[in-house]
Structure 1
Amino acid sequence: MIKKIYSTLSTFNTIELHEGLNILLADITQKSTVKDTRNGLGKTTFIEIIHFLYGSSCTNKSVFKMEQFKDEFFIMDLELNNNLYIVKRRGSESNFVYVECEEVSDLKKKYGMSGISNIKIKVTEWNEFLGEFLFNLNSRDELIKSNLKFRSLFPYFSRLSKDGGYLDSTKYFKTQNVHLTQIALSFLLGLDTKLAISYKHLEEKKKEITDLKKAIETDSYNKIMNDGINLDTEITILTAKISKSKNDLENFLVHPQYREIEIEANNYAQKISELSNQNFMDRQIISELMIASKSERNIEDFNLFELYNEVEIKLPDIVIKTYDESKLFHEQLIKNRKKYLQEELEQYNEIVIKRSQLINELSLEQSKKMTILNTHGALDQYSLLQSEMNELVSKLDMYQKQQHFLNMMREEAAKLKIEEQRLIIEINKSLEGHSRTKQHAILLVEEVSNCLYNSVAQLHIGQTKNGRYDIEMVSRNQNSTGINSMLIFCFDMMLIQMSKFLDRKMDMLIHDSSLFDPVDERQIAEALRFGKDKSIVAGFQYIVTLNSDDLPDSVRKEVASSILPVLLTDADESGCLFGVYY
């Protein structure tokens, strides 16, 4: 229970509280005009101070970080387990909380700080202590510790309008995650929270699969799918090709002078070709010389004298006289001609034979070079083979990854379906096993609802079709004014009473005036009556901030003793909570 809220800020209006119902009023004065507002008087800021001292985060936009306030301590006298705790915190060192408490206090026992009067601890440590003390959170249970914090439970008992706390009874934050909501509510209602955590993990795994599907849908993946490639078949073929390439590379011999040998072999081939061409031409000449030689042999039988007789020309004596000489000359000419042809023929034959021998020698050398080239390879050829194999390996790796992802997704999807069915059964069994707790919460809401005008609300606790916990408030009367506000009121009153039912020490509920803004006067009156009576009977502190003209006259006398002495007013700046305008 909070006993007092105050500050080292000299102008701050100290707020002292008591058991049961506490009403902090903000009043309008006759000097106020239509341009004045009571929204800046400090009703909401008062609740924010309580959050600040209960370990909320403190951003640079927070009022506690403002230059004129950052070094001022905001202080709370808090009674826990009959021990007084004086809690102090300021914006300039917002990561720490100062606590003064008795030697036998639970805080000193937890952190072993006996003998230290003014304890300075981290906000995280303070929150852990509050979680253990007020909600029985087990900090040694890693599953609970990593999924459930004090700060994810406390706002259900002190909603903030700026966070959207009065929009939905099951949420204290506008964009609150559904699974975190189910975890918190299952705990606050005494259900099996670990099943809610398991369902959250299940949904996270489903999201991972969905994200994985998006991740693998790359251009290469889409091409594979569009080309109609069967991954199993392609992997089999590629594996065989890689095996062959690997074997070829292992048997590939790189000769250091491969290029020089290749050039020499090419030169040999060129020379052999040139010599062969020359032999061909010379053999043509030889053939012609042989024909010419045969012709010369036929000329030996040529008779000049008979030729003259055939043409019947009478040769002069001088011709006849010189005929013998001419014949001798002619025979010598023929003989010289035959000798010349024979010498030419022999010369060309010798040249052709020598060339043929050279061709044989060159062919032998070329054969040696080609043998080396056939059994060895060049480095660039080896590199080309290596590059081709690397491409195959890269393609195989891509296909194998795609196949692995697809197989994994299929397996995970199947496992998740099994896990989902298991959780459906487990949560159903758990709800049956917690039927007493479930019934108690439902009846608590029913009790509050019956006390309000038109009996507006019901609590449903069950399962969605997907199997997770389904905890929601529903309205019996959709035409009732401010129905959402009354659903929240009923829900919160149920939660604070469930705290005692579950043997927890959380004993405070706070409602801002925002809750009552859309509610008609009769429902406000009934809500205040119920809060006043139930807080005494159930033993919790109920704090309400209201504008004075929203307090129904019909209940004003009944709650007069619950109205706090400090009346926030817009008469001047001293009337607001901080005592100064900012």
Structure 2
Amino acid sequence: MLRRLSADDARFKTLTFTTGLNLLVADKTASSADTDSRNSAGKSSVIELVHFLLGSRATAKSLAMNKALRGTTFGLDMDWPGLDQLLEVRRSGSRAKYVSLSQDVFGAPADVLFNGNGNGGVELSVEQWTRTIERDLFGLRGDHPGVNGRTLLSFLVRRASSHAFNEPTRTFSQQSAAEASSNLAYLLGLDWQLVDGYRELAARKATRTQLQKAVNDPVWGRIVGSTADLRGQITLAEAQVERLRGQVATFQVVPEYERLKDRADQVSRRIKQLAQEDVIDQHNLEELQAAVTETTDVEVSYLEPAYSELGILLNDQVRRRFEDVKTFHHSIVRNRRRFLEEEIEELTERLNARRAERARLGEDQARLLRDLADGGALEALTALQTALGREEAALGALRHRFEAAQTLEASARQITAKSVELQQAVDTDLQERRQQTNEAILLFSQYAQRLYGEGREAYLAIEAGRSSLSITPRIDSDDSRGINNMVIFCFDLTLAVLAHRHGRGPDFLIHDSHLYDGVDERQIAKALALAVEVTEEERMQYIITINTDNLGVAAQRGFNPEPYIRSPRLTDHDEGGLFGFRFKAVGKA
């Protein structure tokens, strides 16, 4: 139980609490103007400070982080399991990451920072303090994904700043049904680990939704793609990889590959050169052969008969000189023919020699080309292997994308199947836990009928849904705000009592005055009377901040509030509020 809320600022109104009902009253003073509001009295601030001292995360909007309060150290004295003395909790906005405790309830591991004040006090991080609350106040040990001590506390200490009074089964407006239901299942004694499967499914569904959006995006869609497109790309990539693998497998590294390649190039150039030289020599040969044909002796036998017919007689001297000329001419012709024949022979020999060299070079060229065709240089093999590795990596990436695309396309069916399977499992568990569900249903109905009479149908509808464990508290009504608030009252009282009875929660429940806004005066009186009876029977504590007008109408309906009003009473006067002075707050005070 909570015993005392204090601060090291002398202006702060220290609040004390006892077992049972505790009424923190905010009065409107006679001197208040019409524009004054009891929101400045600090009723909601009590709730915020309790959360701050019980490990809530400090943000820029947190009350204790306000510039006017940042240097103030707030304190909460409370009973603690296993301790004979009160546990004193201290925390300030200036050192919001740490909580000071008067006694070591964490276990004092090596990472705990001791205050060194000699009285056994320790200083814990907020995370350590939260784990201690989960262990000692809620009985949570080890890993407990889906169930969080801060969320459990938020059902027992609702905050108006988080819109916790909008719905009975949520503690803030954006809370998912799956997250809330696993925590509610724990408080009600159901299989919260099984129910947490809804949260995991919701996370998978959210991830799939984001991936599906990415796939549909023209740019990001290339990262995954569709299975149909990827299947075709994989087929082509596999064929390319197999082709390269075959080339690598049959590749032979030829020693001195570059030398052989250079030799082959030289042979090729020599063959071309020989062919060009053959063309020239063949042309010259043809001309020489034609010249030999044209080189013959001059026919002179017709001269003497010609001269005789003319009556000219050639004397011996003339005939002798003619024979000399004829002999000389025959000598010239023979010499020319011999020269031409020698030239022809030389050209023929050169042509034959080149023909033989060309044949030999052809054989060398064929051998070199065979060697080069059978293999290649080491650099070529390395390049081929690099290309193969690159194509294999690309193929692997395509296969991973294909698997991702398959998973994405199949995930919707898998999520649906898992949802149906989980729904059946939770439904079976609810059947097996009829004792727990019946206890919760009957307790809620009992509380509701105490407020509205036995003729009013009131119950808890607990069933396995497709996306979460559905827990719906209902009171037959016209859906007015007042009745909806009383649904929250009965539901929270049911949660607190069941959790405390079975060792799954602390022995206190706290409500803000917002809960009673718009509630019929008769139900206010009955709710306060019910709170007195239940806290006495269950040995629990119920703290409620309330305005004097709501308290007045409850008194008119037969409820006597005096024994339960805790001092001091807060007012809307400048110095009458919880903090003893006014300051600019982010939210309601």
Range of TM-score over shorter length: 0.7 to 0.9
* Segment drifting more, 315-324 vs 377-386: 315-324
* Distance in 2, Cα, partners of 1:483 & 1:527: 12
Cross-structure match for 1:104: none
Cross-structure match for 1:448: 447
Task: Flag structure 2 segments of 5+ consecutive residues without an equivalent.
Answer: 584-589
- The one-letter amino acid paired with 1:497 is V
Report the alpha carbon displacement of residue 186 of structure 1 after superposing the two structures with TM.
Answer: 0.4
* Distance in 1, Cα, partners of 2:532 & 2:311: 176
**Residue 456 of structure 1 contacts residue 486 of structure 1 at CA under 8 Å; is this kept in 2?**
no
Secondary structure of 2:376's counterpart equals coil
Report the alpha carbon displacement of residue 153 of structure 1 after superposing the two structures with TM.
Answer: 0.7
Instruction: Summarize deviations over 1:280-339 as a string: whole Å, max 9, x none.
Output: 33223323433433443xx44x53342786899838556974543443343233223322
Cross-structure match for 2:581: 580
* Segment drifting more, 431-440 vs 391-400: 391-400
Report the alpha carbon displacement of residue 160 of structure 1 after superposing the two structures with TM.
Answer: 0.6
Cross-structure match for 1:41: 41
- The one-letter amino acid paired with 1:58 is A
* Alignment partner of 1:304 out of 300, 303, 315: 300
Compared with structure 1, are the counterparts of its residues 332 and 498 closer, same or farther at alpha carbon in structure 2 (3 Å cutoff)? same
Compared with structure 1, are the counterparts of its residues 475 and 268 closer, same or farther at alpha carbon in structure 2 (3 Å cutoff)? same
* Distance in 1, Cα, partners of 2:447 & 2:41: 31
Cross-structure match for 1:10: 10
**Residue 521 of structure 1 contacts residue 552 of structure 1 at CA under 8 Å; is this kept in 2?**
no
* Distance in 1, Cα, partners of 2:311 & 2:172: 149
**Residue 20 of structure 2 contacts residue 542 of structure 2 at CA under 8 Å; is this kept in 1?**
yes
Secondary structure of 2:225's counterpart equals helix
Compared with structure 1, are the counterparts of its residues 383 and 554 closer, same or farther at alpha carbon in structure 2 (3 Å cutoff)? closer
- The one-letter amino acid paired with 2:450 is C
* Distance in 1, Cα, partners of 2:351 & 2:160: 114
Are residue 566 (structure 1) and residue 562 (structure 2) matched?
Answer: no
Report the alpha carbon displacement of residue 437 of structure 1 after superposing the two structures with TM.
Answer: 1.7
Write the mapping of 1:328-339 to structure 2, written as runs, cut at 5 A. Answer: 328-339=327-338
Are residue 436 (structure 1) and residue 432 (structure 2) matched?
Answer: no
Secondary structure of 2:121's counterpart equals strand
**Residue 262 of structure 1 contacts residue 373 of structure 1 at CA under 8 Å; is this kept in 2?**
yes
**Residue 9 of structure 1 contacts residue 72 of structure 1 at CA under 8 Å; is this kept in 2?**
yes
**Residue 7 of structure 2 contacts residue 73 of structure 2 at CA under 8 Å; is this kept in 1?**
yes
* Distance in 2, Cα, partners of 1:356 & 1:432: 105
Compared with structure 1, are the counterparts of its residues 111 and 257 closer, same or farther at alpha carbon in structure 2 (3 Å cutoff)? closer
Report the alpha carbon displacement of residue 23 of structure 1 after superposing the two structures with TM.
Answer: 1.6
Are residue 179 (structure 1) and residue 181 (structure 2) matched?
Answer: no
Cross-structure match for 1:314: 310
**Residue 146 of structure 2 contacts residue 199 of structure 2 at CA under 8 Å; is this kept in 1?**
no
Cross-structure match for 1:167: 166
**Residue 75 of structure 1 contacts residue 86 of structure 1 at CA under 8 Å; is this kept in 2?**
no
Cross-structure match for 2:245: 243
Cross-structure match for 1:132: 135
- The one-letter amino acid paired with 1:577 is L
Compared with structure 1, are the counterparts of its residues 388 and 503 closer, same or farther at alpha carbon in structure 2 (3 Å cutoff)? closer
Cross-structure match for 1:395: 394
Compared with structure 1, are the counterparts of its residues 47 and 223 closer, same or farther at alpha carbon in structure 2 (3 Å cutoff)? closer
- Relative to the length of structure 1, the TM-score reads 0.84
Cross-structure match for 1:97: 99
Compared with structure 1, are the counterparts of its residues 204 and 220 closer, same or farther at alpha carbon in structure 2 (3 Å cutoff)? closer
- The one-letter amino acid paired with 1:571 is H
Cross-structure match for 2:266: 267
- The one-letter amino acid paired with 2:41 is L
**Residue 227 of structure 2 contacts residue 405 of structure 2 at CA under 8 Å; is this kept in 1?**
no
Secondary structure of 1:84's counterpart equals coil
* Distance in 2, Cα, partners of 1:87 & 1:390: 67
Secondary structure of 1:11's counterpart equals coil
* Segment drifting more, 366-375 vs 489-498: 366-375
Instruction: Summarize deviations over 1:508-554 as a string: whole Å, max 9, x none.
Output: 11111122223343433333333233333333221111222333435
**Residue 525 of structure 1 contacts residue 555 of structure 1 at CA under 8 Å; is this kept in 2?**
yes
Report the alpha carbon displacement of residue 465 of structure 1 after superposing the two structures with TM.
Answer: 3.7
- The one-letter amino acid paired with 2:89 is K
* Distance in 2, Cα, partners of 1:313 & 1:518: 170
Cross-structure match for 1:219: 222
* Distance in 1, Cα, partners of 2:303 & 2:214: 111
Compared with structure 1, are the counterparts of its residues 308 and 275 closer, same or farther at alpha carbon in structure 2 (3 Å cutoff)? farther
- Relative to the length of structure 2, the TM-score reads 0.83
Write the mapping of 1:183-194 to structure 2, written as runs, cut at 5 A. Answer: 183-194=182-193
**Residue 26 of structure 1 contacts residue 569 of structure 1 at CA under 8 Å; is this kept in 2?**
yes
Percent identity (aligned):
26
Instruction: Summarize deviations over 1:323-359 as a string: whole Å, max 9, x none.
Output: 4344334323322332222122123223323434544
Cross-structure match for 1:534: 534
* Segment drifting more, 410-419 vs 527-536: 410-419
Compared with structure 1, are the counterparts of its residues 554 and 173 closer, same or farther at alpha carbon in structure 2 (3 Å cutoff)? closer
Cross-structure match for 1:382: 381
Compared with structure 1, are the counterparts of its residues 309 and 43 closer, same or farther at alpha carbon in structure 2 (3 Å cutoff)? farther
Compared with structure 1, are the counterparts of its residues 149 and 554 closer, same or farther at alpha carbon in structure 2 (3 Å cutoff)? closer
* Segment drifting more, 37-46 vs 354-363: 354-363
* Distance in 1, Cα, partners of 2:311 & 2:423: 145
* Distance in 1, Cα, partners of 2:308 & 2:519: 163
Report the alpha carbon displacement of residue 55 of structure 1 after superposing the two structures with TM.
Answer: 2.4
Are residue 21 (structure 1) and residue 21 (structure 2) matched?
Answer: yes
**Residue 481 of structure 1 contacts residue 520 of structure 1 at CA under 8 Å; is this kept in 2?**
no
RMSD: 3.6
